[in-house]
């Protein structure tokens, strides 16, 4: 792994969240400087800031994208007790030429009386819905019934969790087999208050969310939670950032046909790591949930992966080394420049090579002039080999097998 480029974010204060859009071509950043910035990736991979505006009157904790089916829509939440929904409007042509875009505020959600700590859009099959959670311990679920009119949001559900909420995660499972579900975490540090992660499930009959499970073993403050993409499994996987990293499996128990209450789960702990030494602040899955990343007090981002025995293992660490950035800000680093020119080089060499080489080739002739010997050098190989977000590959299979 290497730093391909550094982007001059140019926020005036701490960055609290960075979020990719669904296709990975745009990102949004938010900061204590009360602003949100939107960045677009150009053809050559450079990030360009196309919008920057003041969004709140306090630190902006989180920013998140709606699914592109709903257009270009962002939600942000802030210390100023509000959450807001933003929509990009197609600007005038001269704006486009200058590479700028316009975002307008469609609504401010003012129901919370305390800092809104997290905001997340619901899975798209539920329509345009979003959930907020706040320090006063309330989860609120809003819906925009008309996706063409984002100025109208109605508060659909207000769920009191009793404990100060820090984070919320929708179960991304889009299959009809699972009713809508979310988990909410509390950063209340009082161990005596019991489980800090609650799972809520929507009940079609009562049209309400009701608590399906409290993870009783998680008694310390929880800072982040993340459901893993489902992959057609019958169970759910939930990662939790608390005083350590934990991965839980929620296996739905077979329902009695007469029962109307929420699904009951068998909660299994799959992994638990204290490598961060102290508090863990963020957890997040990659697209296919083969890797989990976590960030903690040790100043490291750690990458986790399971092997075939379902043993989870740290396979990569990113950490600040305190050295100054080389090269001027926003410019590609020396590394990527080098790579760029090399690509050119080899392409020239390749010109004029005939296609269909496999068929025409005489196997293994002429013998390779062997200047080098076969050698596996780990430190080198890391740069060279196809690494699907990997880290040292582990042969995992059991983990992903649907039970």
Write out the binding residues for other proteins, residues 156-215 only, by CB under 8 A: 166, 174, 187
- How many residues of this chain bind other proteins (CB under 8 A)? 134
From 29, 112, 219, 247, residue interacting with other proteins (rule: CB under 8 A):
29
| 261 binding other proteins? (CB under 8 A) | no
286, 280 contact by CB (below 8 A): no
**Is residue 230 involved in binding other proteins (CB under 8 A)?**
yes
**Span 31-50, contacts to other proteins by CB under 8 A:** 31-33, 47
Please state the separation of Cα 297 from the chain's center in Å.
19
Site for other proteins in 59-118 (CB under 8 A): 61, 67-72, 90, 115, 117
Span from 4-12, 154-162, 199-207, 212-220 in contact with other proteins (CB under 8 A): 4-12
Q: Which residues pair with 157 in a beta bridge?
A: 141
Helix (H, G, I), strand (E, B) or coil at 96: helix
Which of residues 42 and 206 has its CB atom nearest to other proteins in the complex? 42
212 vs 245 by CB, closer to other proteins: 245
Q: Which two tokens stand for residue 110?
A: 């003012």
Q: How far is CA 133 from the centre of its chain?
A: 17
Whether omega before 366 lies within 30 degrees of 0, making that bond cis, reads yes
Nearer to other proteins, 259 or 274 (CB): 274
Angle at 30 between CA 24 and CA 32, to 5 degrees: 160
Cβ proximity of 80 and 25 under 8 Å = no
From 137-145, 150-158, 195-203, 309-317, give the range in contact with other proteins by CB under 8 A: 309-317
Place of tokens 């792994």: 1
- Least distance to other proteins from the beta carbon of 260, Å? 29
Is there binding between residue 145 and other proteins (CB under 8 A)? no
Supply the minimum distance, in Å, between the C-beta of residue 387 and other proteins: 4
Q: What are phi and psi of 125, to 5 degrees?
A: -70, -10
Report how far residue 230's alpha carbon sits from residue 209's, in angstroms, rounded to the nearest whole number: 21
Region binding other proteins by CB under 8 A among candidate stretches 106-114, 245-253, 262-270, 316-324: 316-324
CB of 111 to other proteins, least distance (A): 20
Binding mask 269-308 for other proteins (x = CB under 8 A): ----------x-xx-xxxxx-x--x-x-xxxxxxx----x
Which of 199-207, 211-219, 243-251, 362-370 is the region at the interface with other proteins (rule: CB under 8 A)? Answer: 362-370
Is residue 172 within 8 Å of residue 124, measured between CB atoms? no
Over the range 214-228, which residues count as b (16 or more CB within 10 Å of their CB) and which as e? ebeebbebbbbbbbb
Q: How far is the CB of 101 from other proteins (least distance, A)?
A: 11
Q: How far is the CB of 4 from other proteins (least distance, A)?
A: 4
Angstrom distance (rounded) from CA 235 to CA 229: 11
Give least dist CB 392 to other proteins, A. Answer: 5
Which one of 193-201, 242-250, 265-273, 355-363 is the stretch in contact with other proteins (CB under 8 A)?
355-363
Give the span between the Cα atoms of 224 and 314, in whole angstroms: 19
- Report the residue number, 214 or 279, with the smaller CB distance to other proteins: 279
- Can you tell me the distance from the alpha carbon of 75 to that of 55, in angstroms, rounded to the nearest whole number? 10
Identify the DSSP state of 65: E
State which residue, 253 or 355, has the beta carbon closest to other proteins: 355
User: Of 93, 192, 320, 352, which one interacts with other proteins (CB under 8 A)?
Assistant: 320
Listed residue (15, 51, 35, 127) closest to 84, CA to CA: 35
Q: Can you tell me which residue has the tokens 């539920």? A: 126
């Amino acid at each position: 792994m290497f730093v391909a480029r550094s982007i001059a974010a140019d926020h005036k204060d701490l960055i609290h969240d960075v979020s990719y859009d669904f296709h990975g071509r745009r990102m949004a950043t938010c900061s204590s400087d009360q602003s949100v910035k939107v960045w677009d990736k150009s053809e050559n991979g450079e990030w360009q800031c196309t919008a920057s505006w003041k969004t709140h009157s306090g630190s902006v904790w989180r920013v998140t994208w709606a699914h592109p089916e709903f257009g270009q829509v962002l939600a942000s939440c802030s210390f100023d007790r509000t959450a807001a929904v933003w929509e990009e409007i197609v600007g005038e042509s001269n704006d486009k030429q200058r590479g700028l875009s316009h975002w307008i505020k469609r609504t401010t959600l003012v129901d919370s009386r305390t800092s809104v700590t997290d905001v997340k859009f619901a899975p798209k099959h539920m329509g345009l819905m979003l959930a907020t959670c706040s320090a006063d311990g309330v989860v609120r679920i809003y819906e925009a019934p008309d996706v063409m009119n984002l100025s109208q949001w109605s508060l659909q559900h207000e769920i009191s969790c009793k404990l100060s909420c820090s984070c919320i995660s929708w179960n991304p499972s889009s299959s009809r087999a699972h009713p809508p579900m979310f988990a909410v975490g509390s950063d209340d540090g009082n161990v005596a208050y019991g489980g800090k992660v609650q799972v809520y499930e929507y009940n079609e009959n009562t049209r309400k969310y009701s608590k399906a499970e409290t993870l009783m073993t998680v008694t310390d403050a929880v800072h982040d939670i993340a459901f893993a993409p489902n992959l057609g499994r019958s169970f759910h996987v939930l990662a939790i950032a608390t005083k350590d990293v934990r991965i839980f499996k929620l296996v739905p128990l077979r329902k009695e046909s007469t029962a109307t209450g929420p699904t009951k789960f068998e909660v299994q702990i799959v992994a638990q790591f204290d490598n961060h030494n102290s508090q863990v602040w963020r957890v997040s899955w990659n697209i296919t949930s083969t890797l989990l990343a976590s960030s903690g007090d040790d100043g490291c981002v750690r990458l986790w992966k399971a092997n075939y025995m379902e043993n989870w293992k740290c396979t990569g660490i990113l950490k600040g080394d305190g050295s100054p950035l080389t090269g001027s800000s926003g410019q590609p680093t020396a590394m990527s420049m080098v790579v760029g020119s090399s690509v050119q080089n080899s392409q020239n060499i390749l010109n004029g090579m005939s296609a269909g080489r496999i068929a025409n080739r005489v196997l293994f002739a002429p013998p390779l002039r062997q200047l080098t010997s076969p050698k596996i050098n780990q430190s080198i190989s890391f740069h060279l080999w196809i690494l699907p977000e990997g880290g040292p590959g582990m042969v995992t299979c059991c983990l992903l097998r649907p039970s």
